[in-house]
Structure formats: structure tokens, C-alpha cells
Amino acid sequence: MYRHNRVVRLTPNHPLADGRTTHSPLISAFRSQRPDRRPIWFMRQAGRSLPEYRRAREGTAMLDACLTPALASELTLQPVRRHDVDAAIFFSDIVVPLRLAGVDVDIKPGVGPVLGRAVRTADDVAALPSVEDGAFAEALAPVRDGVALTVAELGSTPLIGFAGAPFTLAAYMVEGGPSRDHLAARTLMHADPQTWRALTAWTADVTGAFLRAQVLAGASAAQLFDSWAGSLSLADYTAHVAPASTRALAPVRDLGVPVVHFGTGTGELLVAMRDVGADVVGVDYRIPLDEANRRLGGTVPLQGNIDPALLAAPWPVLEAHVRDVVARGASAPGHVVNLGHGVPPDTDPDVLTRVVTLVHGIAG
Ligand code: CP3
């Protein structure tokens, strides 16, 4: 298991320790306050919607871009400069730590993560590279360097570190690539629960180390993406997934940064997703925020949930929707405005900037 039993605190020059980001709108809302400026950022705000991104990425493969600290940092900063959003999210990918651990994985444009070989049996899991020794921690150096470069430029704007949750990562590994219903993964958790447990413990340790490296290097918050958790019943989530997600978050729980937990199609799972150790729950566009807050008993701030489809609708339609999201978010203890999933690649970036200006201008 990934060792984090040494008590390590944030260093005195960490943005959340030296006060740079402590009272930022994002961190305040994550801590159930109502800052004067209503915070907003967009999942997948870096990426193909930005012409400057397409130019900077030209000729560089996705994972190579993630592992080149200066480029990853530049791509992280682009949307902050352009849109005046209240957070940066580190430019990386949920499969970066798998690659750094030695797994044969690549990202195919227009497809997503694809593995050289699916991982399906006890032997496959036993053959996964060890992440217990110092070699994996050392391999995370480009991540730490990219975060440090970024934070040095961001000033009082917080950087969010992120990782994929054990289930979503394990689903890619068992399927060998993207799939619609994650059938092979869901079969494995019932057919061979021991192998499933070993695999999700491994993905939890890899992803927990990735998250902790980002926070120690300067990220002021952390977000766990369990994008595909919505394909699970509550019973399966609780029995076969939640323990691994708790394990993945353990390496950052002691650091005092707010932790957001997001998935899509998770209306039935919101309470269980909070209970693995989240401070903030990310809500997708399928459930209104006041209803999400009701299901959570008003216990945690929410993040979300503008429907990405409406970014391409006429402005009055989008504006009315954004105002509705903000009004419903007011019922929760805190609210960070975001999309209900990532920015679609063909989004007009000027629309995103206009949404930011609108949200910052809404009183109360
Ligand atoms: O701006 C940000 O939000 C930060 C960067 C970020 C990326 N991936 C960059 C990326 C984040 C937070 C992710 C997380 C991620 N990656 C998730 C969880 C979030 C979600 O969307 O549900 C998942 C499931 C992945 C796996 C993955 N990586 C997919 C499905 C894809 C899309 C493939 C495609 O080309 O359509 C990727 C590639 C990827 N990750 C891109 C970016 C900017 C596109 C690569 C490119 O521009 O060539």
C-alpha cells in the first residue's frame, strides 16, 4: 500500500499555508462560506475549445504534453488568463499516473485512454508494477514540477489537483479502453471479487499518490473524478467501490485541502460519494442542485451543474439556465458554479467567458 504515515504538512510556502489562496472565492465556497464573488470554473476548461491550446499542442501527443512541465503549466494557465475563472485545474489526465507506474497506456485522439492489454485475471493484477517502492514516487517528478511552475504564476488563484477514482481507472483497465456500460468491469467485481479488490486497491494507491504529489507541490484543492460511477447500483458502489475511493483519498485527507468528488449519473450515489471522504460533492446536469442538496441533507457545498449542451444554445436560453443553476445552488451550504460535465471540444470560448462574467455579476 502507498505509505503516507509520515506526518507531512503543507510547507510554509504552500499557497494555502502562506495565505495566497486561503480566502479566495473558490476555497471560501468549498468551506461553506458565501464569498462576494461567486466562484466559477469549468471542468475540461483547458483543451480543444481554445485556439491557443490547439496551437501549443500541435505535434505533441497528449501524454507527452502532460509530462512536459512547462507545456502542462502553460496549458493550465491559458483558460485562467482568457476567462477569468476562479480556479485552474492542472493539465494532466486520469491515466498519467498509470503511465508513470509503467502501465502500457496511451490516449487516442477522439477515443480516450487505450491500454496495450486489458487487465482481467488475478495473474494480470499480480503482474502490475509495484508502486510501493521509491521508484513510483520519483517517476511523479514531472507532475510535481508542472504544479510548482503553475502555482508560481497563479498568485491568489487556487490550483485544483485531480485524479481518477479507482473504479473509473479500473474500468478502463479491465475493458482495455472506453466502453459504454463498463460490463466487463461490473462482471469482474461479482465474478471474482478478490481480484477486483486487489485491482481497485492498486488503482487507489496509484491515484492517491498522484493526488498527494499535486497537493504537496502547491495545489490548494483536490478533485476525484469517478466519471463512470453512475453505471453502478448503490449496492455495488457501496460494496465494491467505496472502500477503494476512501483509500485513494486517505493520502490527502490529512493535508487539510478541500476535496471534491464528482461523477456523472450519480443522483442515487450522492450520499455514498460524500461518505468516502469528500468535503464537496460535484453534481452532473441530470439533477437540479436544490434536489441534490436535499438528498445530501444540506451537509456539504455543491459544485455544478450547467448543462454543457446549453453552451451551444442561443444566449437568452443559456443565460436563463445559468441563473436557474445559481438560484438552486443558493440552497446548499456553499456553491461553486461549474458545468455538469466537461467543456465540449467545439464550444465557442467566448460563450464561456460570457458565462463567467454573468455569474460574477449576479448579486447575493
Ligand atoms: O481542463 C481540465 O479539466 C484539466 C484536464 C483534464 C483532462 N482530462 C485533459 C484531457 C482532466 C481533469 C481530465 C480527466 C479525465 N480524463 C477524465 C475525468 C473527467 C471526465 O471528463 O469525465 C476522464 C474520464 C479522462 C479520460 C480521457 N482522456 C478521455 C475520455 C479523453 C477524451 C478523448 C478525446 O480525444 O475525445 C481524454 C483525453 C484528454 N484529456 C484531452 C484533454 C484536454 C483531449 C486530448 C486532446 O486535446 O488531444
Mark whether 53 is an active-site residue: no
Is residue 6 in some structural domain? no
Q: What is the DSSP string of 50-67?
A: -HHHHHHHTT--HHHHHT
For residue 303, what is the enclosing H or E element?
strand 302-306
**355 in ligand 1 pocket by Cβ < 6 Å?**
no
Mark whether 226 is an active-site residue: no
Atom of ligand 1 nearest to the CA of 93: 8
Share of the chain above pLDDT 90, in %: 96
Mark whether 99 is an active-site residue: no
- Nearest in space to 221 (alpha carbons), one of 151, 136, 310, 299: 151
**230 in ligand 1 pocket by Cβ < 6 Å?**
no
* Distance of CA 72 from the midpoint of ligand 1 (Å): 13
Is residue 17 in some structural domain? no
What confidence score (pLDDT) does residue 336 get?
98
Give CA–CA dist 89/225, Å, rounded.
12
Identified catalytic residue from 82, 86, 120, 172: 172
- Answer whether residue 314 shows pLDDT above 90: yes
196 and 121 in contact (C-beta within 8 Å)? no
221-276 pLDDT per residue, tens: 999 999 999 999 999 999 999 999 999 999 999 999 999 999 999 999 999 999 99
- Answer whether residue 4 shows pLDDT above 60: no
- Nearest in space to 229 (alpha carbons), one of 287, 185, 289, 177: 185
For residue 203, what is the enclosing H or E element?
helix 193-217
Higher pLDDT, 8 or 119: 119
Helix (H, G, I), strand (E, B) or coil at 46: coil
Mean pLDDT in the chain? 96
96-146 pLDDT per residue, tens: 999 999 999 999 999 999 999 999 999 999 999 999 878 999 999 999 999
Pick the residue whose CA is nearest to atom 23 on ligand 1: 94
37-82 pLDDT per residue, tens: 999 999 999 999 999 999 999 999 999 999 999 999 999 999 999 9
The total number of structural domains in the chain stands at 1
Q: Average pLDDT for residues 2-10, to the nearest whole number?
A: 57
Mark whether 172 is an active-site residue: yes
- Answer whether residue 3 shows pLDDT above 60: no
What confidence score (pLDDT) does residue 8 get?
61
* Distance of CA 40 from the midpoint of ligand 1 (Å): 19
* Helical pair 183-191 and 193-217, crossing angle rounded to 10 deg: 120
Is residue 2 in some structural domain? no
- Answer whether residue 11 shows pLDDT above 80: yes
CATH number of the domain that residue 210 is part of = 3.20.20.210
- Answer whether residue 2 shows pLDDT above 60: no
Mark whether 3 is an active-site residue: no
- Nearest in space to 169 (alpha carbons), one of 122, 99, 108: 99
Helix (H, G, I), strand (E, B) or coil at 282: strand
Question: Domain limits at 256?
Answer: 25-361
Give the cell for residue 233: 447500483
Q: What is the dihedral of CA 286, 321, 347, 226, to 10 degrees?
A: -30
- Nearest in space to 341 (alpha carbons), one of 316, 310, 314, 295: 310
Is residue 20 in some structural domain? no
Share of the chain above pLDDT 70, in %: 98
Is residue 11 in some structural domain? no
Is residue 173 in some structural domain? yes
320-330 pLDDT per residue, tens: 999 999 999 99
* Distance of CA 6 from the midpoint of ligand 1 (Å): 32
Give CA–CA dist 347/214, Å, rounded.
28
* Distance of CA 34 from the midpoint of ligand 1 (Å): 30
- Answer whether residue 5 shows pLDDT above 50: no
- Answer whether residue 363 shows pLDDT above 90: no
Is residue 5 in some structural domain? no
Identified catalytic residue from 86, 93, 226, 307: 93
67 and 96 in contact (C-beta within 8 Å)? yes
Is residue 304 in some structural domain? yes
* Distance of CA 44 from the midpoint of ligand 1 (Å): 7
